[in-house]
Amino acid sequence: MKWGDVESEGAVDTEKIRISLTEPGKNWVKVRVVDDETGEIVPCRIHFRSSDGVPYQPHGHHNQVNSNLDTWHIDVGGDTRLGQVSYAYIDGTAQGWLPRGEVIVDAARGYEYEPLRTKIEIAPGQQELELRLKRWINMNERGWYSGDSHVHFLSTQGSHFESQAEDLNVVNLLQSQWGSLFTNVEDYTGHPSVTREGNNIVYTSQENRQHFMGHMILWGLKQPVMPFCSDGPGEAEIGGPMETTLSHWADEAHAQGGFVINPHFPFPNGEPASLVATGRLDAIEMIQQQEFMHNEWYRYLNCGYRLPLVGGTDKMSSDVPVGMYRTYVRIPDDDEFTYENWCRNVAKGRTVLSGGPIIHLTVDGHEVGDSLELASPGSGEVSAWAESVVPMSKLEIIQEGKVIASSEVGKPTRKLSVNETIKIDRNSWLAARAGGPGYYSGYRYYDVWERGIFSHTSPIYVSVGGPWSMFDVATAKYMLTLMHGSLTYIDNSSRQHSHGHVTHHHGEEDHIGYLKRPINEAIEAVHRRMHEHGFSHYARSIS
């Protein structure tokens, strides 16, 4: 076999193999991606490959992102990868080599645009290519603004760049500690970074972490809350002591006007119950579609704790796009879109977690986060719809954690709706969720965690004949068990300096008493609620 024969013939067969040219020629092509309606250039993520599957990414981007390695912090910015397909993030323009002949193009821009997969022909001499993306809904025009609650390792500019390509309004970029590694501290400024157009915001705040007591996201910090992590590996430094609690971190954040989110709720499950009981949480976050996460959230709602839901990715590698799970926040018409207003309306419960489907719910005209007050038992008109550019087949109405109405089809569909009159005879809460067959076992993405495709609203709270209140004694006892477990951990397992050998950051003499104080406060709060609802308790706080 001679290489010249391959070049002249295009393919040569030998006794054992066939050798062929996969590139008959190539052109340097300038690409523009525009909004189909406005004609304006729009950022997006994009992938080119030949009919033989050979990638031809824009110049300056990876043909194959160095990911899929069961690790994090590798090739973090500028590209992303889903399964075996690598995408380049572009500002709407790009250039580079494309093969002549058939080329397959994949382009996407979040969930409000139709994803594009098409075959094009690159002709000899062609040097220009225009692609058009169609927006099917504009959530900003409806008063809803999207954000990722939880992003690591990107730079501020990288966060702007990637989130604009994913049609995302807000990125919460989190500085943190990983043993002796500190990340994103160079991005922290104590104020939002806002694009010239005003519709894309990056705010660098913190994720504070302990391996047993739990993790905590702090949004909107004007000053860092230190230490970032505590109680040794794998979050803090080797041999590091338990210097503080999540409750103290939450108090410091709230004191400066910040917001407190429990990430990947409720894991680790040491202190979240105490945070819930004392009202220190502004919201809880889901980063995966797990039944346990749902049921933990539902049980706290059923016990009378108002907990808004947010969505985020916990992005730590290139094999998950920023905003794959995102939080849509409703900002009233008389408020402008700012970072402060976005966070404040999260805390008011005006949120929807979207992992693809766009979902909307009203009860008697009241929207997500609202309270519906009935003078006496009666009924309510529930109206919900979901529409999605990714597969879904089920829309469900949830009341107190149970499915009370649904719309389901046997194959992936674009639109679903539910309109039902439901009986309301007691204080309750209602929400809507959408997903695939079986809901928890439905369709999945090709990101590193193979996350489920789903969406879930925060609740609408319904009161009958008085103020809204709910209580579940089994959940209260469960919370007390977790709280006493935290106290036992502090006493018997947490890492501590010998008494008298250090001066702690809080300046108090009794360090163990400092650590246990908010847990005991939470225990007393649960005891009071049990007494208010006619239940005795079986254990008191431990000093």
CA angle at residue 443 from 432 to 36, to 5 degrees?
A: 80
Is pLDDT above 60 for 472?
yes
d(C-alpha 312, C-alpha 355), whole Å? 9
3 by DSSP, 3-state: which? helix
3-state secondary structure of 395: strand
- The SS3 call for residue 235 is coil
pLDDT of residue 366: 99
- Determine the Cα–Cα distance for residues 36 and 452; give it in Å rounded to an integer: 30
Residue 93 domain flag:
yes
Q: How confident is the model at residue 70, as a pLDDT?
A: 66
Confidence of residue 541 (pLDDT cuts 50, 70, 90): very low
Q: How confident is the model at residue 537 (pLDDT cuts 50, 70, 90)?
A: low
Q: For 477-503, b where at least 16 C-beta lie within 10 A, e where not — what string?
A: ebbbebbebbbebbeeebebeeeeeee
Q: What is the CATH number of the domain that holds 180?
A: 3.20.20
Strands (E), 1-43: 11-13, 18-20, 26-35
Q: Give the ranges where 383-456 is alpha helix by DSSP (H).
A: none
d(CA 110, CA 119): 21
Provide the CATH number for the domain around residue 465: 2.60.40.10
Tell me: do 129 and 154 sit in the same domain. no
**What is the tens place of the pLDDT at every residue in 346-399?**
999 999 999 999 999 999 999 999 999 999 999 999 999 999 999 999 999 999
Instruction: Check whether 243 has a pLDDT greater than 60.
Output: yes
Asked whether residue 361 falls in the same domain as residue 339, the answer is: no
pTM: 0.97
Q: Can you tell me the mean pLDDT for 426-446?
A: 98
Residue 207 amino acid letter: E
pLDDT for position 542:
45
The last residue of a domain, from among 438, 470, 502? 470
Q: Is 79 inside a domain boundary?
A: yes
Q: What is the mean pLDDT of the chain?
A: 96
Output the six-digit token pair for 187: 């991005």
Can you tell me the distance from the alpha carbon of 375 to that of 478, in angstroms, rounded to the nearest whole number?
Answer: 33
CA atoms in the 13 A half-sphere facing the CB of 448: 22
326 in a domain, yes or no? yes
Q: Which pLDDT score is estimated for 71?
A: 65
Q: Beta 116-122 vs 101-108: how paired, if at all? A: antiparallel
Query: Do 336 and 203 reside in the same domain of the chain?
Result: yes
Distance CA 267, CA 460 (A): 25
Residue-range definition of the domain harbouring residue 458: 355-470
Q: Same domain for 331 and 186? A: yes
Statement to judge: residues 365 and 299 lie in one domain: no
120/266 same-domain check: no
Question: Which of 118, 133, 148 corresponds to the end of one domain?
Answer: 133
Residues 376 and 391 in one domain: yes
Q: Which of 470, 490, 524 is the last residue of a domain?
A: 470
- Asked whether residue 106 is domain-assigned, the answer is yes
Give CA angle at 163 (39, 73), nearest 5°: 145
Does the residue 212 lie in any domain? yes
Same domain for 299 and 385? no
- Give per-residue pLDDT as tens, 273-318: 999 999 999 999 999 999 999 999 999 999 999 999 999 999 999 9
With a cut of 60, say whether residue 540 has pLDDT above it: no
**Residue 263 has which token pair?**
């990430």
Choose the weakest-confidence range: 12-16, 279-283, 329-333.
12-16
CB 174, CB 152: distance < 8 Å? yes
Res. 539: pLDDT tops 80: no
The answer to whether residues 463 and 391 belong to one domain is: yes
Q: Give one DSSP letter per residue of 49-100, joined into a string.
A: EETTS-B-PPTTS-SS-S--SS-SSSS-SSEEEETTEEEEEESSEEEEEEES
* Residues with Cβ within 8 Å of residue 415, at least 6 apart in sequence: 385, 386, 387
* pLDDT reported for residue 10: 87
Does 322 share its domain with 176?
yes
* pLDDT at res. 202: 99
Residue 502 lies in a domain: no
Contacts of 169 (CB under 8 A, 6+ apart): 140, 145, 146, 147, 163, 199, 200, 201, 337, 342
Residue 170 backbone dihedrals phi, psi, to 5 degrees: -135, 135
Q: pLDDT at residue 333 above 50?
A: yes
Q: Is residue 493 part of a domain?
A: no
The Cα 329–Cα 147 span in angstroms is 8
Percent of the chain with pLDDT over 70: 98
Rounded to an integer, the average pLDDT of 116-144 is: 99
**Beta-carbon neighbour count of residue 524 at 10 Å?**
14
- pLDDT recorded at residue 121: 98
Residues 317 and 168 in one domain: yes
Our count of domains for the chain comes to: 3
- The lowest-confidence range among 168-182, 256-270, 495-509 is 495-509
What is the arithmetic mean of pLDDT over 267-272?
Answer: 98
Domain harbouring 46, CATH code: 2.60.40.2190
- The whole-number pLDDT of residue 543 equals 45
Decide if 535 is inside a domain.
no
Our measurement of the distance from residue 415's CA atom to the centroid of its chain's CA atoms, rounded to an integer in Å, reads: 23
- Range name among 69-78, 341-350, 528-537 with the lowest pLDDT average: 69-78
**Which residues, listed in sequence order, are joined to residue 260 by a DSSP beta bridge?**
218
Judge whether 320 and 288 are in contact, CB under 8 Å.
no
Range 162-165, long-range pairs (CB < 8 A, 24+ positions): 162/77, 162/78, 162/80, 162/89, 162/321, 162/322, 163/200, 163/202, 163/322, 163/323, 164/43, 164/91, 164/195, 164/200, 165/43, 165/44, 165/45, 165/89, 165/90, 165/91, 165/109
Could you tell me if 385 and 316 lie in one domain? Answer: no
As given in the structure block, the two tokens for residue 151 are 């992003």
Cis peptide before 378 (omega within 30 of 0): no
Phi then psi for residue 361, to 5 deg, are -140, 135
Binned at pLDDT 50, 70 and 90, residue 3 comes out as confident
